[in-house]
Amino acid sequence: MDNDLQVWQLIMQAGWLVKGVMLLLLVASVASWMIIFRKRQVLVAAEKEAEAFEEKFWSGADLTAMHEAIESSQRSTRGMEKVFGSGFSEFLRMRQQGRIGPNAMVEGSQRAMRIALTRETEELEHHLNFLATVGSTSPYIGLFGTVWGIMTSFHQLANVNQATIAMVAPGISEALIATAMGLFAAIPAVIAYNRFSNQVERLESRYDNFKEEFSSILQRQAHLLSQE
């Protein structure tokens, strides 16, 4: 308890610039943790949804019935379901137009799925740049506050005849808290960024593999339609 009180007293005794640095790092840390908790929920949900959709898709269900169920549900789709819906909607639209070659139908579906895949990836990557920025800049911001605090402490010794370490120790301690806060903000952000980036990369690869496999299915259907 005494240590906590002492740290708080050091923070309150710090200069205004050092306090500003500490406040900035505190805000960055809080924002990072909010993003970490939210992003973890989003990515876990995306993995579960992809697994559930793949299981349903490869169970032999009728594709048209699946698409109609998605369209009639009136809910917003995302992830692999969004890629499937975009590709199959374009396939059906071009099939209804008639006199369109099978290759053109498949290419149109692939183009729609690529756009959907890009948007879904961007949504998964949302806010990851903020974590990367906090992780890379927080230590330097904290170090800036520390250097400034130490400079101020030594500058106060200019008019002192006999300087002792006891005279500058409090100021240096105050300044070092800024470095500690910088590391406190940076370390979780870096760990979370690396982990989430890996998860997003795996999901993107999973979506892309599905897109290629679904394109092969649509190509077979398009050639069968052209022979009728």
pLDDT at 114 over 90: yes
Alpha carbon 108 to its chain centroid, in Å, reads: 30
73 falls within a domain: no
pTM of the model: 0.82
215 falls within a domain: yes
- Helices 128-155 and 16-57 meet at what angle, rounded to 10? 160
51 falls within a domain: yes
pLDDT attached to residue 158: 61
Q: Which CA distances in Å does 147 have to 71, 97, 183? A: 60, 70, 15
Tell me the one-letter amino acid at 37.
F
Tell me the one-letter amino acid at 33.
W
What's the number of domains the chain is made of?
A: 1
pLDDT attached to residue 21: 83
Q: Which residues constitute the domain of residue 204?
A: 16-61+78-227
pLDDT attached to residue 11: 61
pLDDT at 22 over 70: yes
SS3 113: helix
Q: What is the pLDDT of residues 40-83, one digit of tens each?
A: 999 999 999 999 999 988 887 788 888 888 888 777 888 899 99
Q: Confirm if 85 and 67 have CB atoms less than 8 A apart.
A: yes
